[in-house]
Each structure stands twice: as C-alpha cells, then as structure tokens.
Chain A
Amino acid sequence: MARKLPRKDVVIVGLGWTGSILAYELAKQGLDVVAIERGPWRDTATDFPPGYAQDELRYGVRLDLFLRPQQETLTVRNNMTQTALPIRRFSGFLPGNGVGGAGVHWNGQTWRFLPSDFNLRSHLEERYGADKIPADMTIQDWPVTYDELEPYYDRFEKLAGISGKAGNLNGVKQAGGNPFEGWRSSEYPTPPLKQNYGSALFAEAATKLGYKPFPRPSGNISEAYTNPLGVTMGQCTYCGFCERFGCGNYAKASPQVCVLPALMRLPNFSVQTESEVTRVNLDSTGKRATGVTYVDTSGEEWEQPADIVLVCAFSLFNVRLMLLSGIGKPYDPVTGKGVVGRNYAYQTTSGVSMILKDKALNSFIATGSGGMMIDEFNGDNFDHKDLGFFGGGYMGSGQTGARPITTMPVPKGTPKWGAQWKKAAAETYNSGYGISTHGSSYSYRDCYLDLDPTYKDHLGRPLMRMTFDFKDNEIKMSQFLTDRLAEIAKALDPVEMTASPRKGPWNSTIYQTTHNTGGTVMGADPETSVVNRYCQSWDVSNVFVPGGASVFPQNHGYNPTGTVGALAYWTADAIKNRYLKNPGPLV
C-alpha cells in the first residue's frame, strides 16, 4: 500500500526544462508545488565542475549523466512485422535523468519553428494541392500559430540568455541574421558567439554560392548575462566539451543555471529526488486526476495527492506515463483510431565530411551550439513543386568539438588500426572537417509508440515500444539537402570528401539526435490529438503535458527545445490566467 502524503496544489513529474519552468511560474503565483524527479539532484559544483567536467570517457563515452537503461528503456523496431527488442545500452538517442533533465547535457541550439510550420498541412495543401501529400503521412496543423507563440519564444530565449542575431525584427529584415525566420519582437538577449575557423570557412563558402549564412542561435552564451529571474550566467569559453557534458562555466543554458537558483528559494516549492512516478491516479469517473504514485529508491511506494498534475517527464516518458495511467485512448495503427502514441517522429540528419588542404582547424575549439548556418532549404522556404518530397532543414558548420576518442578522422581507405592508421590519424586530426544538415521528420500512420508485449522495467511494468523508420519522403529530402551541402563543401576545395545522406533503416545504435517527438500530440480535434491547444488532456482536464516535444504533431527542420520552452510558458500562462480562475476544460 502506498503511503499517502499531504495534498499539494500542483505535482510535477520530472524536473527538467519544462518542469522547472512550470514549477517556477506556478510557485511564484503562490501555489504549493512539488516536483517528483526520477534521478538525483545535480549541480555544477558537485557533478561537473571545471576541474573534471572535460572528461570524454566518463561523460561522452560512458554517458555518466544519462538515464541508465536498467532504470528505464524502450524496445525498438523499424516496422510492424519485426519483433521489437530492448535498447540495452542507449546510443541512438540519449534521454536525461536527474534534476535538470536533458537540459544539463544538451547542446543548446535554440530555434523557433517557421510560421508556416505551424499550419503545415493547410499550407502544403494550399500551395501544392491536397493530393500531393502522401496518403500515409499524418501531418496536421498545430492548434497554435506562430504569432500566438512569439511572446513565449521571447520569454524562453530571455530566460536562457540565447546568443544570436535577429534576421527579422517586427517584420523588418536585419542584415547578418536569418532572413527566413519568423518575426521577432526583440533582438537576442546576447550577441552571437565568435566563430571558430571551420565555421568561418563555411560562411565564406556559402556566401560565395549566394546563400545568407548566419550564426546559429545558441544556449552557450557569448557574454555574462543576468536573466529576468535574477540569475547570472557566465561566458562560454569554447571548451569543446558541451553536448553530453554539463558546463562547468555556468555558460550553458540549463535548469541548473537559469531556473533552480531562483526556484529553490521559493518556500512553497520542493523537489523529491530519486523517486519515479509510476502512474497518474484517476478518480472513479476516470475524468479527474487525484495525484500521482511514486516509488523511491528503497522501493517504498508513496501517493502524492494534488489538484493539478503536470507531466514533464521528457517527450518519450510523457507518452509512456499517459499509456500506463490510462489517460487518453491508445493509438491503433491498424484502425488508425486512438491517439496516445500516435505521430511519433524524429529528426532526419546527414553530413559531409572532408579533409581540408593546409589548414589548422583547431576544431577542439568549439561550442555545442555555435557555428554558421543557412536556412534556404528549410521547411517550405524553397519551392517543392517538382521535388517529390516535402520538408527540409537547416545546414552548416556545426562541428561541436574534436574530442579524440570519438573524433579521429582518417583519409578514405585507411586501415582501422596499425602503423598506417596511426600515421594517418596524426596527420589528419587537425584538418578533418564536418558539416551537417538537420532536417524535418514528418509523421506517418505506422510510426508510433505503444506498450511492449514482452519486456518489462525493473518495477515489472511494460516498456514502451517504438516503431519507426525513415520514409521515402525523408530519404529524398535528405538526399536533396545533402547534395546542396556537398556543393558548398566542394567550394572549400577539400583534399577529399564523403557525403552521407540519411538512408534507412533507422538505426538505434547510431547517434543522430535526442529529438523524439509526438505521441501526446496537441491539436484542435480530440480524435487526432491527446491534448488541446493549452497542452491540457482532452480526457482528464487537470492533467497537462506542458510543452514536452511529445505534443509536436510532427517534427520540423529545427531542434525542438526553443518550441518546448515557448510551449512551457504558454501553458503556464493558460493555467495561471484561465484554469485557476475556472478549473475545467479550457477548450
């Protein structure tokens, strides 16, 4: 029997990016808030101080800060005829664990989606005709517009101190910024990072070909900055140990750096660490949540009653918790009915690697999210009429370091070991160079999440099963983007180059991104969405999924967290300004 704790106004499942934003906003409002976090407390001084944060083996290879599969993992397969098998060691994507969530060890690439991404289906139907969209492609419009979200993007960027250069201020194009971005109500909080040699070379080549390169919006910040919560961030040192690592310099936007110092001071907030929420509890009608049940490290079960339940457990685990709690109808890919688990999507990335002539690149001087990018081939920024695919992505010089266990380029045809390998590695290390594309992943009828019939977690509950592959549309898109990238690469006159467009099948062992989206999609119609436009469950109105990427109807050509953060603020406002005044369905 679970031991019952005193009631709270709000219980938050998971204290990562979305959880910490909601916790601060609602506790500041005077509500009694408790967050339950599966992993340990983490802070800069203890877990990744500058004395040993730069340890490639520990953090980059042995994945010290990440979720251990022993605690929770998924099963994966490429299609419905395969038997799904468990990910026994994470490598294709890397979920976070512990206070700060994946915000601790993300790169910090902080984008907004394009205005036309938000009405994707109607936009494509209008421009190209409804018959051009493949029958099994289940893309749909978002229930919010770019204009509605703009102020919330702005708030997240100010919270995180994002470094960048605006390309469109209130409709007026700005030189040096991204000419394709939606309008921005203000300039980035901090100026762009400096560019290392590789990124400067890319910008030069792209400009020569007529493109308009711009600095990638970055959560590794260019100068000290004090955010609206009163927390001061430090300056990025281009240390080259960013993604997969915590930042010892307080320079990477994270819940630790941007939110917790202010949040932890609020007397009406507490966090319960090393405690895994096992379900959201419902009353006998099934229409109201009464709180959550969690298990701590001693195996003891606790019940935390609360009036509002916020599911902030990261995209994939939001979906699993909804499935395990019986909130919303599980999706059935055969009938196409049901919603929870529907429209799982990912990201379609690719790259071109090169060896440059007579260059000292010093690529170890790098950041997780700096670099120079172009956006000519993202979303519908280019005419898709005769291309045979939809979607696109940004591309550019995004090499985020040259950590030698995982980055050791050698010329084509070099043996993998021995005297020749050694010589080649020594000669090539400082002139090996990589540029990449980062593209959309649209949703399909048979790409989805459900509970696995065979494999269980350490508490005996079914693992979640992921059925996913790259489809023809995405493979063609990746080929097209990679061809454009290779043209820019050629302009750099490399000694040799290898273009690697994304090919199927999706391989769960090759790291691509941790941009898993969909499964608790937001929408205007309960038949095709799990939550409404305020990220509120259609079925259980005191449960919200405030902005985890599980609410994305499909994934676009940018990294998700700018939009995740914006939706977190958007939901916080809906709860504060609408729900608290009149608890019940907001739509």
Chain B
Amino acid sequence: MMHGSRLSPLSRRSLLISTAALLVAGTAARARTITQGMPWEPGTASPPLQVRAGPWMFFTPDEAATVEAAVDRLIPPDESGPGGKDAGCAVYIDRQLAGPYGVGAGLYLHPPFMPGAASQGYQSPDMPAVRYRAGLAAIADYVKSSFAGKSFHDLAAADQDKVLSGLETGAIKPKGINGAGFFALLLQNTQEGFFADPVYGGNRDMAGWKMVGFPGARYDYRDWVERHNEKYPLPPVSIMGRSDWTVKE
C-alpha cells in the first residue's frame, strides 16, 4: 500500500474532479481582458494532484496483474532497490491512462488518418487507453495459446522475458495490434513511472532517483555548481517532500 495521508477518503473524489478539469482545460478557461496591472488572484495556482492508493482506475484486475508482472521484468528488483512493481509503475500507468493522457487530450485528431514516413510521426487515431486495452488483450490471447492456457503473470520470469523481447523485436506478432509499437509504449510509460516525481504514483519513495543519484526537486545548487567532481551529497526530495515527513496511518 502507498502511504495515505489523513485526507485520503477525499482523495479519489478530488482526483476525479481534477481529471475532469484537466480534460476540459482550454475550453474551461475563458477569454478575458486584462489591464491595469498583473491579475494575480489567490487560489488560482495549479499544483499537481497527488495520486493515492486505492482501486485500479483504468485496468481490470487481469490487466493490472499483467502490467505489474511486466513492469517488474522491464525494471526488475535487485540489490540496488525495488523493481517496477514495488516502485508503483503500474499504479502510475493506471492513473495516467484514466486521465487526459489516456485519451490523447490536446492532440490533433482530425481525419484522414494515413500511414506516412517515420519522419512524419504517429498517425493512428488510437490513443494510449485504447492501445493498452487492445494490446493487453492481444498479449493475453497470445500467451494463452502459446503457454497452455496460462496468463502472462503466471509465467516464469524467463518466459515473461521471452514474450516481452519477442514483442520488442517483432518476432511475436499478437493478432490485431502492432506488438513492437505497444512494447515501446509500455517501456516508455514504465520508465516514466520509475523516474517521474512520486506525486504521480510511481517512483515510490523516490526509488528511481535514489538508484541513479538524482536529487529530485531540490531546485537550488548554487553551493555545489563549482564543487567539481564531488558527488552531490544530499538525498532526493520530491514535490511532496519526503515520505518520512508525511503522516502515516
């Protein structure tokens, strides 16, 4: 479980509200005339909303089990620290898919959709939420038929790796999806989750930052810029501070 603060009963609701607000951002903001000074008003800042523990918001239980298993192979636990699962990468992806990212908010989605050169970029109408739903279903079918009816999360780690690298190289082509494209999306999102600020649900306890020695949200290195070749000494902090500073239930 993630650390919850005293406010957690409210969290899901406020997260939903904020997601809705983000979805309509751009249309919710109203045209206005500003003159005679800077228009600062209290309470108008927009800090990120903390992802909190709780039920999956996008994934079904089966999908979640697959994604948790996969992120733990993409970033396996080792002596240096937790893997993708314990770092919260699946939670991160779940909350991203349930929010504006999942539906491709703000992107240009007018037809016609035509395949183009690689230099012209992604040209499919399918946004991440749709791609995950279809990708995970196709992988589930593939695993079921290739591994005697099993699910991905029931496979041995070595078999899971085989499936993942087969997708990556295109050697495995699940029906109806671009397997290599889906793998690239999953890997990108997993690494985002591992290294993004913990406020988004991944990088739990700043595991990703501790692993590499990134100090996070410190924002001021004036005292260290000229201390050449001396490893920066302070541990990371996140936008929310550190988990040992916050109230535990």
Contacts and interface: CB of A to CB of B under 8 A. Distances in A.
Q: Which of B74, B107, B161, B164 has the most CB of A within 10 A?
A: B107
A418 B161 contact: yes
A52 B121 contact: no
A275 B195 contact: no
A82 B117 contact: yes
A509 B219 contact: no
Contacts of B218: 239
Contacts of A419: 76, 78
B29 A274 contact: yes
A360 to B, nearest CB: 4
Interface in B188-205: 190-192, 195-197, 199-200
Contacts of B117: 77-78, 82, 505
Contacts of B35: 264, 267, 269-271
A364 B231 CA distance: 11
Interface in B23-58: 26-27, 29-40, 44-48
Contacts, number: 239
A83 B197 contact: no
A576 interface: no
Interface in A22-67: 40-41, 43, 45-47, 49-58, 61-62
Contact of A408 (B36, B108, B121, B212): B212
B248 interface: no
A405 B225 contact: no
A421 B104 CA distance: 29
Given A272-B33, A408-B195, A423 B109 contact: no
Given A197-B229, A298-B31, A505-B119, A70 B46 contact: no
Contacts of A267: 35-36
B60 to A, nearest CB: 24
A559 interface: no
B159 to A, nearest CB: 14
B45 A425 contact: no
Interface in A220-258: 235, 237-241, 248-249
A58 B224 contact: no
A197 B224 CA distance: 10
A416 interface: yes
Interface range on chain B: under 10, 10 to 19, 20 to 34, or 35 or more?
35 or more
A241 B197 CA distance: 13
A308 B101 CA distance: 41
Contacts of B31: 272-275, 296-298
Contacts of B29: 40, 274, 297
A418 B78 CA distance: 11
A507 interface: yes
Interface in B81-119: 101, 104-110, 112, 114, 116-119
Interface of B: 26-27, 29-40, 44-48, 73-76, 78, 80, 101, 104-110, 112, 114, 116-123, 161, 164, 168, 187, 190-192, 195-197, 199-200, 208-209, 211-222, 224-226, 228-232, 239
Interface of A: 40-41, 43, 45-47, 49-58, 61-62, 68-71, 73, 76-78, 82-89, 91-92, 194-197, 200, 235, 237-241, 248-249, 260-261, 264-265, 267, 269-275, 296-298, 359-360, 362, 364-365, 402-405, 408, 416-419, 421-423, 425-426, 429-430, 454-456, 505-509
22 contacts: A46-B44, A52-B217, A69-B107, A70-B107, A82-B117, A83-B116, A85-B114, A87-B121, A238-B220, A270-B35, A271-B33, A272-B31, A362-B232, A365-B224, A403-B214, A416-B168, A423-B80, A425-B211, A429-B212, A430-B212, A506-B119, A508-B121
> 10 closest pairs, A vs B, by CB?
A296-B31, A270-B35, A68-B106, A69-B108, A429-B212, A57-B196, A404-B195, A237-B220, A274-B31, A197-B228
